[in-house]
A = this chain, B = another copy of it.
Amino acid sequence: MHTEDNKKSSHVVWHEATVTRARREAANGHRSVILWFTGLSGAGKSTLAHALEEQLHCLGMRTFVFDGDNVRHGLCSDLGFSEADREENIRRIGEMAKLFTQAGVIALTAFISPFRSDRDRVRALVKRGDFIEIYCHASLDACEARDVKGLYARARKGEIRDFTGISSPYEEPDAPELIVETGSRPLDDCVDQVIRYLAECGIIKA
């Protein structure tokens, strides 16, 4: 029960995993990494991730965007918003993103992920160079001014507890691989900036 034990048999002979990450990357023509977008609510993380994914897909690459929509209702549906649950939420997202990189896929994650410790734990899960922290920078004023879903207004009224930037801190990345000025630059420029970075690092072909 506790482990798989298909090591050998008289009939079905033992067969190790032979399709490695390296073979997948070779087949795909690009490296697989985690692009970890972090920033305030409304900073444009999900927007940038999806726009970038569109470009990468058109270039023939394998990608997947994780966001609240496909994670909170599924894999993390058992979690609430306590401190422990938020930490566990980010941990699972990190582990899942890691599996996607092992599958040869570029994993883009779009979560506020306000705490350095949580992000650093994900970074520590994978080998050097596999975790690319992309800080989507927009001022709180700008994010609050947009307030597309009215979340900031509700947070100001005290209707949402522990709202990042209002009643809970956002810890800026100390040394992110990239800072993208999503608060002031056009989307296309932001996408180009990330693509240039990926090409410079040899993750995708220039």
Binds B, one of A93-101, A171-179, A193-201: A93-101
A81-99 CB mask vs B (1 if < 8 Å, else 0) is: 1000000100010011011
Question: In A84-133, which residues have CB < 8 Å from any B CB?
Answer: 88, 92, 95-96, 98-100, 102-105, 110-112, 114, 125
Contact: B1 with A164, CB < 8 Å?
A: yes
In angstroms, Cα B63 to Cα A47, docked, is 28
Cβ–Cβ < 8 Å partners of A99 in chain B:
64, 66, 70, 74-75, 96
Chain B residue with Cβ nearest A183: B11
Q: A16-B50, A47-B15, A50-B18 are in contact. Are A104 and B4 (CB under 8 A)?
A: no
Cβ–Cβ < 8 Å partners of A65 in chain B:
17, 19
Cβ–Cβ < 8 Å partners of A23 in chain B:
57
The secondary structure that dominates the A interface is: loop
Residue tally, chain A, CB below 8 Å to B: 84
Contact of A190 with B by CB under 8 A: yes
> How many identical chains are in the complex?
2
Cβ–Cβ < 8 Å partners of A5 in chain B:
41-42, 147-149, 151
Contact of A157 with B by CB under 8 A: no
In angstroms, Cα B160 to Cα A119, docked, is 37
Cβ–Cβ < 8 Å partners of A62 in chain B:
24, 62, 103-104
Cβ–Cβ < 8 Å partners of A11 in chain B:
44, 182-187
Contact: B2 with A160, CB < 8 Å?
A: yes
In angstroms, Cα B42 to Cα A70, docked, is 34
Contact: A146 with B9, CB < 8 Å?
A: yes
Contact: A2 with B81, CB < 8 Å?
A: yes
Query: Nearest Cβ in chain B — how far from A141, in angstroms?
Result: 13
Contact: B47 with A13, CB < 8 Å?
A: yes
24 A–B contacts from the bound complex (CB under 8 Å) = A1-B41, A1-B151, A1-B155, A2-B81, A3-B151, A4-B46, A4-B69, A5-B147, A5-B149, A7-B149, A8-B148, A9-B146, A9-B148, A11-B184, A12-B182, A15-B46, A15-B48, A27-B60, A64-B99, A64-B103, A70-B102, A74-B125, A78-B88, A103-B105
